[in-house]
A and B are shown apart, each in its own frame.
Chain A
Amino acid sequence: MTVGCTAADLVTAIRAAAATVAEHRVELIQLDRAIGDGDHGENLDRGFKAVLAALGQSTVDDPSAVLKLVATTLISKVGGAAGPLYGTAFLRASTAVKDRAELTAADVAEALTAALGGVVARGKAEPGDKTMVDALTPAVQAATGESITEVLTAAAEAAQAGADATVPLVARKGRASYLGERSAGHMDPGARSTALLLRAFAEAAAR
C-alpha cells in the first residue's frame, strides 16, 4: 500500500484488525474486568467477527462503503458503549472519505480526525477522562506523513503512548468512573483497543 488505499486494501486492513482483536481478546477482557464490566474484549471480538462475515457477504465498491459496513455492523453487534462509539468513529470516517476511489495519506488523516470527532460527539468524553479519546486524540495529532504507512504508524505509536498514559488516571466517563480513585493503576481497555486497531492498520499498510 505504498500509493493509495483502495477498497480491497482497506478490507485487508480491517481483516488484520479483526485478527488483532481476536488475538488480544483475553487481554482486553482482563483490562476491562479490572475497571469495567469485563465485556470489552468479548464484545469487540464478536463485533469484528461479524464484520468479517459482513465483508464476506457484501460487495463494497469504495473505501467509504467498507468503513460504513464496518460501522453499521459494529453498532448492531457490539454491546455496551463500545459499539456505538467505534461504530460512530467508522461512520464519520466513512462520511469523511465519501466518493473517493482511493485514499491518500491526507484522506487517512482526515478520516481519523472525523472518527475522533464522532467519538467525542457520541461519548462526550474529554482528554484525561480515561477513555478511548485518550488514545485517539494524540493519534490524530500525530497523524501526519508522506505515505499512509507513515500516517498510520505515527498515529498508532501516539495512540499506544496515550493508552499507556491512562494507567494513572482516575476515570471520569464510562463504567470505570463508578470506581473513582480505584480506577487508577489500570490501563483503559477502550484506549488499549484503539491503539491495537491503529497498530493493525499501520502494519497492514506497511505490507
Chain B
Amino acid sequence: MSRVGLVVVSHSARLADGVVEVAAQMAPNVTAVAAGGTADGGIGTDFDAVTAAIENADGGAGVVVLYDLGSARMIAEMAVEAADNARLADGPLVEGAVAAAVAAEGGADPAAVAHAAENAAGPPDEPAPTTGESEEAVVTLTNEIGLHARPAATVARAMTEIDATVTVHFGTATADGRSVLALMGLGARGGDRIRVTATGPRAADAVRTFQELAADNFGD
C-alpha cells in the first residue's frame, strides 16, 4: 500500500531533520523528507529543496507539506502550487508532523493527513452533550506499547466514525478519544487499566468498539 508522504519545511536544516526523526519513529512506513535551511547551509528556506523533497516524498499517494514560520509558508505554498501532488497543512510543526505521520501510517488520504496535522494543537474544549446515553467501561491494555502511536491512531480513527463524545481516563489524566496526540499523551502502556467514558447517541457503540479494539491489541 502506498502511503501519503510528508515534507517538513523549516528555516533550519537541523530543525527539519529533527522533526522528521521524531515523526519517522511514530510512523516507520511513512516517507518523511526534511527541507530545512538555505542551499548554502544558512537559516532560511529554499524553493528548490522543498520542490525536490516533495518529489522524493511521493510514493504515489500524494504529499502533505508542513512548515515552520514566516517565509517558509510562502515557499511551501509556491512549491505545493508548482507540484500537482502536494497539499499544505497549516498546523503546529512538531505535533502536526507527528499527527500527520501517524495518520499517514494508518493509510489516511492526503486530506485526512493534512486535517490531522491541522488539528494537532487539539480541538477546543466542548461542553459534554446533555442528551443521549452515557456509557463507560474499564479496559486493561494487553498490548505491549499500550496507547502509543499506531494503537492511538486506530482508536482515534474508530472513534471519529461514531457519533459519541469519547473520553479516555488514565489516572488523573483524560484524553479526547478522537485525538491521536491526546491519547498518546496519556502514556498508558501494556498492563495499564484505563477507563473509557462516552456520551451521545451512540455511546454504547463507542465503548463496545473500544473494548473490541483493545481485546484485539489494536491490531498489533
Q: Which residues of A contact B (CB under 8 A)?
A: 68, 71-72, 75-76, 84, 87-88, 91-92, 95, 122
Considering the chains assembled together, what is the distance between the CA atoms of A92 and B78 in angstroms? 10
| 23 A–B contacts from the bound complex (CB under 8 Å) | A68-B82, A71-B82, A72-B47, A72-B48, A72-B51, A72-B82, A75-B47, A75-B78, A75-B82, A76-B46, A76-B47, A76-B48, A84-B74, A84-B78, A87-B78, A88-B78, A88-B81, A91-B78, A91-B81, A91-B82, A92-B81, A95-B81, A122-B74
- How many whole Å from B212's CB to the nearest CB in chain A? 47
Interface class of chain B by DSSP: helix
A residues in contact with B48, CB < 8 Å: 72, 76
| Closest residue on chain A to residue B71 by CB atoms | A84
Q: How far is the CB of B77 from chain A (nearest CB, A)?
A: 8
Question: How far apart sit A4 and B47, CA to CA, in the bound complex (Å)?
Answer: 32
Residue among B46, B48, B51, B78 with most chain A CB within 10 A: B78
Contact with A along B194-220 (1 / 0, CB 8 A): 000000000000000000000000000
Residue of B nearest to A88 (CB): B78
Least Cβ distance of A79 to chain B in Å?
Answer: 11
Within 8 A of A (CB), among B60-106: 74, 78, 81-82
Task: Give the total number of A-B pairs whose CB atoms are below 8 A apart.
Answer: 23
CA distance A70 to B47 in the complex (A): 14
Give chain A nearest CB distance to B65 CB in angstroms.
Answer: 15
Closest B residue to A75 using CB positions: B47
By a CB distance below 8 angstroms, the chain A residues around B47 are: 72, 75-76
Q: Which residues of B contact A92 (CB under 8 A)?
A: 81
The docked-state distance in angstroms from the alpha carbon of A68 to that of B79 is: 11
A4 to B46, CA, bound (A): 36
In angstroms, Cα B48 to Cα A84, docked, is 13
Bound complex: CA A182 to CA B161 (Å)? 60
| CB of B71 to closest CB in A, whole Å | 9
Which residues of chain A are within 8 angstroms of B46 by Cβ–Cβ distance?
76
**Distance in angstroms between the alpha carbons of A87 and B50 in the assembled complex:** 15
Docked complex Cα distance between A84 and B47 (Å): 10
Other than the given A91-B81, A122-B74, 12 more pairs (CB < 8 A) read A68-B82, A71-B82, A72-B47, A72-B48, A72-B82, A76-B46, A84-B78, A88-B78, A88-B81, A91-B82, A92-B81, A95-B81
The 8 closest A-B CB pairs, nearest first, are A76-B47, A76-B48, A75-B47, A72-B82, A75-B78, A91-B81, A84-B74, A91-B82
Nearest chain A CB to B91 CB, angstrom units: 21
Nearest-neighbour CB distance to chain B for A187, whole angstroms, equals: 26
Residue of A72, A75, A91 with most chain B CB atoms under a 10 A cut-off: A75
With A and B bound together, what is the CA distance between A95 and B84 in angstroms? 10
A77 to B78, CA, bound (A): 14
Complex Cα–Cα for A87 and B48 (A): 13
Query: How distant is B173 from chain A, measured CB to nearest CB, in Å?
Result: 43
Report chain B residues within 8 Å CB of A91.
78, 81-82
Least Cβ–Cβ distance between A141 and chain B, in angstroms: 25
Bound Cα distance A76, B82 (Å): 12
B37 CB to closest chain A CB (Å) equals: 14
Q: Which residues of A are found within 8 Å of B78, using beta-carbon distances?
A: 75, 84, 87-88, 91
Tell me the residues in window 20-77 of chain B with beta carbons closer than 8 Å to chain A beta carbons.
46-48, 51, 74
